[in-house]
């Protein structure tokens, strides 16, 4: 345990683990294994199942999307296929996600980990608006880490390995959250080969060259071979900032190391993600201020043009063209409605100009 309790007093917020991975990578089995591990550590997690199409899950979910949205009924009512039904069900569930966050925050004092199990169709969650909304909402409230689950036995081919790495890279830079690469099923295939490919560019090149079908009939590298060579160079920077762990959801091997990586990600979240979140909020607020200022400037320009075209109309509105004074010679002030009633007349910008003539200020 760290000796530095951090800026906040009392129990730290629970850390959220968002599990993402290709279909068949073993996400639900992985969630079941880490759930079992946490129970043995007397730290039962709070689990959310976000897959509306799954028939059964090997764990007890605290919040289950299937309790809120009937996936089969969504398909029937909206005349959708399976993927469209999952996406629409997730969209409908997202409209109530503020309630989900409320329930999670009520349990924040009694749990250390919140786990999200996402749909098997990875693109539905990672590239949909609802997936982004859920991820951003959770990450704005609680420390959050993304666990990208990889089917290790299916990744022994260089092309499949590179496809997984590119997908993982795109998700990491899209979410901008602490990221853990989880090589699952290491009881079937150890993941050391993947670590070697990530740490040594020449090892991956050698594996790529020895793989069948990487050269054409004239002995030259194929287009796919050249592309993967280039991609491995591009991903070198990605590998440097990546936490990796090998686990077996069947035997439980590597689960302790996974949680060590998760706990280490809390510091990364607090030092890198939170400042970025604050910068994003400040940028949004500044953008809104700029939009308001631009709108006001355009409105004033329009008023100036209107004033030049019809100066007598402006004279009617108590505005002197030369010295910005009303016809009585008193400067026009900004009215604060919270103060005492202003002695005199004023211009109500919510009313048409012709209705502003001698319009008494409401008390």
pLDDT of residue 124: 87
pLDDT of residue 3: 43
What pLDDT band is residue 9 in, cutting at 50, 70 and 90?
low
Q: What percent of the chain has pLDDT over 90?
A: 35
Q: What percent of the chain has pLDDT over 70?
A: 75
Mean pLDDT, rounded, for 186-204 = 91
Whether the per-residue pLDDT at 332 is higher than 70: the answer is no
Q: Could you tell me which residues come within 8 angstroms of residue 323 by beta carbon, excluding any fewer than 6 positions away?
A: none
Q: Within the chain, where are the H helices? A: 27-40, 71-78, 82-94, 97-106, 122-126, 129-141, 158-175, 192-199, 201-210, 223-234, 236-240, 255-268, 274-309, 311-316
Q: Could you tell me which residues come within 8 angstroms of residue 131 by beta carbon, excluding any fewer than 6 positions away?
A: 90, 118, 124, 125
Q: Could you tell me which residues come within 8 angstroms of residue 127 by beta carbon, excluding any fewer than 6 positions away?
A: none
Separation between Cα atoms, residue 1 and residue 5, nearest integer Å: 9
Mean pLDDT, rounded, for 252-280 = 88
pLDDT of residue 242: 85
Please write the tens of the pLDDT for every residue from 287-327. 777 777 777 777 667 666 666 766 655 444 444 444 444 44
Whether the per-residue pLDDT at 342 is higher than 80: the answer is no
**Distances from the Cα of 286 to the Cα of 1, 129, 136, 139, 282, angstroms:** 40, 24, 20, 22, 6
Least confident of 83-87, 90-94, 228-232: 228-232
pLDDT of residue 232: 79
138, 143, 147, 148 alpha-carbon torsion, rounded to 10°: 60
Least confident of 135-144, 199-208, 242-251, 334-343: 334-343
Whether the per-residue pLDDT at 336 is higher than 50: the answer is no
With CA atoms as reference, report the closest residue to 15 among 168, 180, 238.
180
Separation between Cα atoms, residue 311 and residue 331, nearest integer Å: 18
Token reading at 329: 């010679």
Please write the tens of the pLDDT for every residue from 105-152. 888 889 999 999 999 888 888 888 899 999 988 998 899 999 999 999
What pLDDT band is residue 354 in, cutting at 50, 70 and 90?
very low
With CA atoms as reference, report the closest residue to 252 among 179, 184, 151, 181.
184
Residue 115: CB atoms within 10 Å: 25
With CA atoms as reference, report the closest residue to 167 among 141, 190, 144, 146.
146
Determine how β-strand 144-151 pairs with β-strand 179-184: parallel
Q: Are 341 and 363 in contact (CB under 8 A)?
A: yes
pLDDT of residue 326: 42
Least confident of 36-40, 63-67, 130-134, 291-295: 291-295
Question: In whole angstroms, what separates CA 261 from the centre of its chain?
Answer: 20
């Amino acid at each position: 345990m760290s000796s530095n309790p951090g800026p906040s007093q009392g129990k730290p917020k629970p850390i959220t683990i968002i599990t993402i991975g290709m279909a068949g990578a073993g996400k639900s089995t992985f969630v079941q294994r880490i759930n079992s591990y946490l129970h043995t550590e007397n730290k039962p997690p709070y689990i959310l199942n976000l897959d509306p199409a799954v028939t059964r899950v090997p764990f007890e979910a605290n919040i289950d999307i299937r309790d809120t949205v009937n996936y089969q009924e969504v398909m029937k009512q909206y005349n959708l296929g399976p993927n469209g039904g999952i996406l629409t069900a997730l969209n409908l569930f997202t409209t109530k996600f503020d309630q989900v966050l409320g329930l999670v925050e009520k349990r924040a004092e009694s749990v250390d980990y919140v786990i999200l199990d996402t749909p098997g169709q990875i693109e539905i969650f990672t590239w949909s608006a609802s997936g982004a909304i859920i991820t951003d909402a959770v990450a704005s409230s609680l420390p959050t880490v993304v666990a990208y689950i990889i089917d290790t036995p299916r990744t022994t081919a260089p092309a499949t390995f590179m496809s997984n790495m590119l997908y993982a890279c795109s998700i990491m830079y899209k979410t901008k959250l602490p990221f853990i690469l989880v090589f699952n099923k290491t009881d079937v295939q150890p993941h050391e080969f993947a670590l070697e490919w990530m740490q040594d560019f020449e090892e991956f090149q050698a594996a790529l060259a020895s793989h069948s079908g990487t050269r054409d009939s004239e002995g030259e590298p194929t287009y796919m071979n050249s592309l993967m060579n280039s991609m491995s160079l591009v991903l070198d920077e990605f590998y440097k900032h990546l936490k990796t762990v090998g686990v077996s959801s069947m035997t439980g091997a590597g689960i302790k190391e996974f949680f060590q990586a998760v706990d280490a990600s809390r510091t990364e979240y607090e030092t890198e993600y939170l400042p970025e979140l604050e910068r994003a909020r400040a940028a949004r607020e500044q953008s809104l201020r700029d939009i308001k200022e631009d709108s006001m400037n355009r409105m004033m320009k329009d008023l100036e043009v209107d004033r030049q075209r019809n100066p007598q109309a402006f004279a009617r509105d108590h505005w002197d063209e030369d010295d910005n004074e009303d016809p009585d010679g008193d400067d026009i002030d900004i009215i604060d409605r919270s103060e005492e009633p202003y002695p005199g007349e004023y211009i109500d910008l919510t009313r048409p100009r012709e209705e502003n003539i001698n319009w008494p200020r409401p008390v």
